[in-house]
Amino acid sequence: MTTRTTLLFDSPFLLGFDQTRALIDRAAKAANEGYPPYNVEQRGDRDVRITLAVAGFTPEDLAITLEGRQMTIVGKKEAPKEAGGDSAFLHRGIAARGFTRSFVLADGLEVAGARLEHGLLHVDLTRPEDAAVIRRIPITAG
């Protein structure tokens, strides 16, 4: 997928922005995924919560990994077994398929924790306060 934004990074005046271009491409690909639905909410000045609708999944069915700035949430669920005897599903609307959903995190954003509650997976992110760093630069005589 080539977009106007990624074409901008092909300019000979923007050297060394390959990682930024790759980041934009990954974010665009992730935005096109539709399952499972999710919310992203700002919670205060430094906290963000991502909530995914994962009805029917258990904590054992879910995995969250962080590689560089890309957080990936994977759900693997075995297909539900048909009930024995004379019962059968007349309608099966609760999805039980596996999924992979990726999010690209901004610099400094850290995963604070994750909780599965009432069919919703909450992933809390935080940006710790920056400690003031003062670095003295030595001056040499020449």
Fold of 35-81+89-131: Immunoglobulin-like (2.60.40)
- Cβ atoms of 30 and 102 within 8 Å: the answer is yes
C-alpha–C-alpha distance, residues 13 and 30, integer Å: 28
Segments of the chain assigned to CATH 2.60.40.790: 35-81+89-131
pLDDT tens for 88-100 read 878 878 767 899 9
pLDDT of the residue at 28: 64
DSSP per-residue letters across 39-51: EEEEETTTEEEEE
Q: pTM of the entire structure?
A: 0.67
pLDDT tens for 22-67 read 666 666 665 666 789 999 999 999 999 999 999 889 999 999 999 9
